[in-house]
Amino acid sequence: MRTCLFPGTFDPITLGHTDIIHRGLELFDRLVIGIGVNSSKTPMFALEERMSWIREMYKDDPRVEVASYSGLTVDFCRQLNARFILRGIRYVSDFEYEKAIADVNRTVAPEIETIFLTTVPQYSSIASTLVRDIYKYGGDVTPFLPQAVLEGIKRLKQ
């Protein structure tokens, strides 16, 4: 079974992320969406909310799992028996950053391969950071987020 980890903070998960997930499902038998807990970052949305949104989105697809982790991504891959890490690339600057991480990961864990997928052009400008700013200042985030997230943040506002 080809197991892949798609790591990130997913704060929140966007249509750009889901594009990578859907395309990754064509390549792997099992895709674990791993929400990394980073002590130096304070997320806008609680971990439980982010996990709930993702579970709702993929509740009908047994190939998709969601889990949280802290520590090294490669160590979490080993726990999952995942031989692949999936990363989305929007711009050349993303590639440079992601390649540096992939090179370090390959040195630490040569058995784990990083796979890069470029986003489709319509999602290349979507970044969780921008979406959070739009949301924070009362803008319309509808064009950027999956329905489960839109419903979730609507409930949060109530």
In the 8-state DSSP scheme, what is residue 51?
Answer: H
Residue-level pLDDT at 155? 83
pLDDT tens track, the chain, 158 positions: 899 999 999 999 999 999 999 999 999 999 999 999 977 778 999 999 999 999 999 999 999 999 999 999 999 999 999 999 999 999 888 899 999 999 999 999 999 999 999 999 898 888 898 999 999 999 999 999 999 999 988 887 76
Return the active site residues: 17, 41, 90, 128
* Coil/strand/helix, residue 84: strand
Tell me which CATH homologous superfamily contains domain 3-157: HUPs (3.40.50.620)
Which residue is it, tokens 């999936």?
86
Residue-level pLDDT at 123? 85
Sign (positive or negative) of CA dihedral 44, 45, 50, 53: negative
Q: Are 156 and 148 in contact (CB under 8 A)?
A: no
One DSSP character per residue, 120-151 reads PGGGTT--HHHHHHHHHTT---GGGS-HHHHH
Q: Are 116 and 94 in contact (CB under 8 A)?
A: no
Which residue is it, tokens 């520590």?
71
Give which of 113, 146, 144, 148 is closest to 27, Cα–Cα: 113
* Side-by-side strand order, sheet with 30-36: 64-69, 30-36, 3-8, 84-89, 113-118
